[in-house]
Structure 1
Amino acid sequence: MARSPHITREGFEALKAEQRALWDKRRKVVKHLAAAAAEGDRSENAEYIYRKKQLRDLDRRIRYLQKRIPELKVVERAPDDPERVYFGAWVELADRQGETHAYRIVGADEFDPKRRWISIDSPMARALLGRALDEPVRVRLPDGEAEFEIIDIRYDNPA
């Protein structure tokens, strides 16, 4: 499945900062790799083998970011209808047991479970998109189908 190109401004800036940091780290790894290579037999040189692997991992992530960043579309404005759930919304849900859950819908490259940010491509976000306050929402979760009710929609951080 294709990833959504949408991203928040802060997510976009974080990816660009990560890319710059990776280039800086890559330069250091290349220096260490050259020093390890100068030590002689590379086949038994643990430092050389480790640095080659580290360089491959860095290059893989740098290549991904070089391809992904130009594809991204920064969403900076609130939707025309703030009473419905769209990209960037903080959504508070109540489940059948009365427990509340709050999520922010963000781009696929910036989801963060610790911050309660879910990807716009996730089943939960797809079920919420376009819904209004007090609407019931059915979501297929890994442990079965669940039903929620939207109790709050905001486009600023509720902290």
Structure 2
Amino acid sequence: MKTKLITREGYNALKAEHDELWFKKRPEVTKIVTWAASLGDRSENADYQYSKRQLRQIDSRIRYLRKRLEDLQIVDYSPQQEGKVFFGAWVEIEDDDGQLLKFRIVGPDEIYGRTDYISIDAPMARALLKKQVDDSFVVQTPTGAKEWLVLDIQYPKLPATP
């Protein structure tokens, strides 16, 4: 089961996707379906068939987003997090070979299309929780255990809401 945590930025992005689909994309495709249906024989009408399929995909994504947005819990930055790794942190780590990684720990809904984000459900994120700068930790990988050192922890500072 996916974790239901999400950053405020991630939530806003999913909400924006929902609104784009519901208020812009869906009405456009619905117009095309209506126009294509008015042409008559739907069984050989490629515009109609393609647009109906597109409409089903949009509706499916809208249903998913509505259900998911309802279930998600937004996690905002809290000053108590400072100095330790928690949800929403940007973390820089290094292994024994000098390999550097920098990423942000976010919810599973936020990682798609991003190479600098990892899910809170990932073994690396789980191993990092509550660690501080200069702490070392071990992560089990498919090739065996690997040791890492925490170099830096930062939290994005969001503008205060009025």
Same fold (TM over 0.5): yes
Partner of 1:148: 148
Partner of 2:77: 77
Q: How does 1:4-23 map onto structure 2 within 5 Å?
A: 4-23=3-22
Root-mean-square deviation (Å): 1.9
Runs of 4+ in structure 1 off by over 6 angstroms are: none
> What is the aligned-residue identity percentage?
49
Partner of 2:42: 42
Equivalenced residue count is 156
Instruction: Report the residue type matching 1:128 in the other structure.
Output: L
Q: 1:38 to 1:86 in 2, by over 3 A?
A: same
Per-residue deviation at 1:156?
2.6
Q: 1:111 to 1:79 in 2, by over 3 A?
A: farther
TM-score by length of 1: 0.88
Partner of 1:138: 138
Per-residue deviation at 1:112?
4.5
TM-score by length of 2: 0.86
Partner of 2:95: 95
Which ranges in structure 1 are unaligned for 5 or more consecutive residues? none
Which ranges in structure 2 are unaligned for 5 or more consecutive residues? 158-162
Is contact 1:93-1:150 (8 Å) kept?
A: yes
Partner of 2:160: none
Is contact 2:7-2:106 (8 Å) kept?
A: yes
